[in-house]
Structures are given as C-alpha cells and as structure tokens.
Amino acid sequence: MNTEWLEEAHRRFGDRKDVFEYVETPYSLWSNLSDVFKRAYEYPYKEADIRSIYEFADWSCRQPRGETSEDDLPTCIAVCFYEHIPQEAAVKDLPRWFKLSEIMTMREIVSYMVGDAGFERMLEAYPKSQRSK
C-alpha cells in the first residue's frame, strides 16, 4: 500500500498528536479523525477542523481504488467516516457540505450501518421541498 494518504494527511493536519497517534493504516488515521470530528462539533465549534476533515475525505474519495478494502481509500472513508455522520451532531450541518443528490448516492452505505432510520435523519437535514423532488 502506498503512503500518499499519510503524506497528504500530514500536509493538511501537520503533526497533531490527536490525529496521528498510533496511525499505521488509513483506517487507524480515520478512527482518530472521526474522534477529532466529533469533538469539533462540541462548543465552541472548531470550524477549521470540520472543514479540513471534510476536504480530506473528499480528497481521499477521489483517489484510485485499491485492490482490497484494506487499501481502498473510498471504502475506508465510507466505513470510518460517512457511515457515522447520522449518529453525530454533524448530521444537521450536512447541507453545508453535501448536495442532497450526493447524500442520495450514500443511501446503501449509510443504511447498512445505521439502517433506514439513520439515513432518514440525514435527509431531514434538508428542506422538505428539496426532499420531495
């Protein structure tokens, strides 16, 4: 597995201990980033962390697919990050970061983790007028 993901993470997050402690794989990195993300939504909000994590997730999802789930960054992001958003305070903030059409493409992944009710929580962040289209 190449380490471009780790180099990019260091470029974006510096040497923050809360991000890089015990990191050996993209999954361990995203476990740490998920913790940082959750704390970023506590008062006071840490907008820079929220933005950096969403941007790194976007970068990660645009990388070439791996041969297995272990070295496939989009799978890692889905499992370690996107699937958990319906369980976090971040769910109400989704419209700032995702178009409704992007959320709709996540239905299968999110529903697998948190069921249809979790996916519905994501949709509820969007105005009813958008959801009925």
Which whole number is the average pLDDT over 2-28?
95
Other Cβ atoms closer than 10 A to 30: 25
Token digits for 111? 């529903």
Give 88 or 77, the one with higher predicted confidence. Answer: 77
Q: What is the reported pLDDT for 2?
A: 83
Q: What is the pTM assigned to this prediction? A: 0.89
Instruction: Report the C-alpha gap between 122 and 44 in whole angstroms.
Output: 23
Q: Given the structure tokens 């993901």, which residue do they identify?
A: 5
